[in-house]
Amino acid sequence: MEIKKHKIAIIGSGPAGLAAAIYTSRAQIDTTIYAGEEPGGQLTKTTEIENYPGVMGKTGPELMLAMTSQAQKFGTKIMYESVAHGSWLMAHGKHKLVSESGEKEFDAVILAMGASPRLLGVGEEKYWGKGFSTCAVCDAAFYKGKNVYVVGGGDAAIEDAMVLTKFARNVTIVVRRDKLRASVAMQKRILDNPTVKILWNSEVEKINGVDKVESLVINGETVGAEGLFFAIGHIPATGWLKGSDVKLDENGYIDLQGDSLKVWPTMTSVAGVFAAGDCSDHRYRQAATAVGMGVQAALDIERWLACLPAGRRQNA
């Protein structure tokens, strides 16, 4: 068997991180995943999966467990710890990561921490996959013929509402202001749609239901509901990178424009530090696209490591 010449760390154990680990481990690169506080990422809160190619009848946790086992089969080491901070591009060309178990050095790093949907704290955590969702593209088909509500006033909320109109009986958008933040084009689409109702100057204050969403309290009034979707934005898990040399955009997502030559499309502003998945993707946020980005980062990192001077190579 080929001797492993490089060590890499993958921060995050969602679809992007695990897909990257499967590729790097199979390529005989010593790979360590820092799983973080939420192993498996947001997909562990998903019930039945229907929109991941080749996967039917599995739940989110089952898919993530299968991906974890596959990565471990090829030699990936998983640390159930969070990274507190990193020292990028130290004098001798290594990246140092600090976690609960101490400091470790790596030749390269893939950042795949994901992003979390913004919540309102009205009891929604109890109803994940039981009438509550933050992804209409993922879950709209489960609400055929049902009465659903969408919270939000931006483009994402309008897109979710439009997707839901293909399945749901009634779609109501709850907007806390007296106008939408969405683009003019998106507003026209929704305002001209007779199947969508908008509640202006309104807020969801509470969710009711025994083991699923049954009703909502909106501005003090209880209304029947069979589904609730939040479309109020996401928060990338990049707070610990602020102040570092890894460039973030104005919304906290990792900027992948660091490689001006575009030789390594998934490289950040720091040489040897790559990114994949929802922490660098504010547009798609799908398991399948995260997996694709993870594979891209793995291939980029494998080729980048092969270009390193011999002095940077060190047996595992």
CA distance 203 to 271: 45
Output 93-96 pairs: Cβ under 8 A, ≥24 positions apart: 93/312, 95/9, 95/272, 95/273
Residue 107 designated active-site = no
From the list 127, 145, 129, the residue with the least C-alpha distance to 48 is: 129
CA distance 145 to 170: 8
Residue 135 designated active-site = yes
Label residue 116 left, alpha or beta by phi (over 0 means left) and psi (-120 to 50 means alpha).
Answer: beta
CA distance 118 to 268: 25
Q: Record the tokens describing residue 182, joined without a space.
A: 């969405």
From the list 132, 172, 179, 184, the residue with the least C-alpha distance to 153 is: 179
Q: Record the tokens describing residue 90, joined without a space.
A: 């130290």
The active-site residue, picked from 30, 138, 160, 300, is 138
CA distance 177 to 175: 6
The active-site residue, picked from 30, 107, 135, 300, is 135
The active-site residue, picked from 139, 160, 278, 300, is 139
CA distance 102 to 113: 19
What is the set of active-site residues?
A: 135, 138-139
